């Protein structure tokens, strides 16, 4: 019975939050998904423009990672991007990374930006040297650095996680590298390419 009561309470909470979307007062625009909880706790309402998906992600996913994980297919590729092809992602699906000219798939960029800010608050600097790569860029990098399978540092064009906007090459000193290894997974980032400690991939866990 306790389990049923818990489920009923959660459903009631979701209904209340959804209802607030139609009764909320005006507030400043530009609130991010990560700021929804703070806004709701202080006003009882979500800001204008908040979607139903935003509400659910705020309720069900810490730092939005569960929601982001739900957007990936069985191969770990964002469902919204799979149809475009690796290295063929449209600008509308990408977002800038703070302090650089690089971009990533928008949810990945949001989490990376949040992580960079968190590290900075602790006196740790994380730079970004590479993000999304078009197919043409992948061909160029493979030509310059050689294929990873042959001892080089580049994936076969069309297979790189950079081509999905999921990977970033980071500029890390020893302190930043240690910080990433301790905290990166909290933001959905993993170090999963041997010989490339600078390469971090966004792999949210649902």
Q: Is residue 68 part of a domain?
A: no
- Burial grade of 17 (CB within 10 A; 0-12, 13-18, 19 or more): buried
Over 100-136, what HEC string results? Answer: CCCEEEHHHHHHHHHHHHHHHHCCCCCEEEECCCCHH
- 94 and 191 both lie in a single domain: yes
State how far Cα 141 lies from the chain centre.
24
Confidence of residue 63 (pLDDT cuts 50, 70, 90): low
Q: Give the total number of structural domains in the chain.
A: 2
Confidence of residue 203 (pLDDT cuts 50, 70, 90): very high
Identify which of 158, 63, 162 has the alpha carbon closest to the alpha carbon of residue 103. 162
User: CB neighbours of 75 closer than 8 A, spacing ≥ 6?
Assistant: 82
Confidence of residue 133 (pLDDT cuts 50, 70, 90): very high
Confidence of residue 70 (pLDDT cuts 50, 70, 90): confident
What pLDDT digit, counting tens, does each position of 75-108 carry? 889 998 999 999 999 999 999 999 999 999 999 9
- 45 and 89 both lie in a single domain: no
Residue 6 confidence (pLDDT) above 70: no
Q: Cα separation of 146 and 155, whole Å?
A: 8
- 13 and 98 both lie in a single domain: no
Q: Is residue 175 part of a domain?
A: yes
- 37 and 88 both lie in a single domain: no
Which residue range is the domain that position 173 belongs to?
A: 79-202
């Amino acid at each position: 019975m306790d389990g049923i009561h818990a489920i009923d309470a959660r459903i009631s909470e979701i209904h209340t939050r959804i209802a607030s979307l139609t009764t909320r007062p005006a507030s400043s625009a530009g609130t991010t998904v990560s700021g929804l909880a703070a806004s709701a706790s202080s006003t009882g309402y979500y800001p204008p423009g908040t979607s139903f998906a935003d509400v659910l992600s705020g309720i069900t996913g810490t730092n939005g990672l569960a929601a982001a994980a739900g957007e990936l297919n069985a191969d770990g590729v964002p469902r919204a991007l799979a149809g475009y092809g690796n290295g063929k992602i449209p600008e509308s699906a990408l977002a800038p990374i703070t302090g650089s000219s690089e971009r990533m798939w928008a949810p990945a960029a949001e989490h990376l930006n949040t992580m960079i800010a968190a590290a900075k608050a602790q006196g740790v600097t994380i730079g970004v040297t590479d993000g999304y790569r078009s197919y043409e860029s992948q061909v160029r990098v493979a030509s310059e650095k050689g294929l990873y399978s042959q001892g080089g540092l580049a994936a076969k064009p069309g297979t790189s996680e950079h081509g999905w906007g999921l990977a970033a090459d980071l500029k890390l000193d020893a302190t930043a590298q240690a910080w990433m290894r301790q905290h990166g997974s909290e933001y959905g980032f993993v170090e999963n390419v041997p010989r490339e400690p600078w390469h971090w991939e966004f792999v949210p866990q649902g």
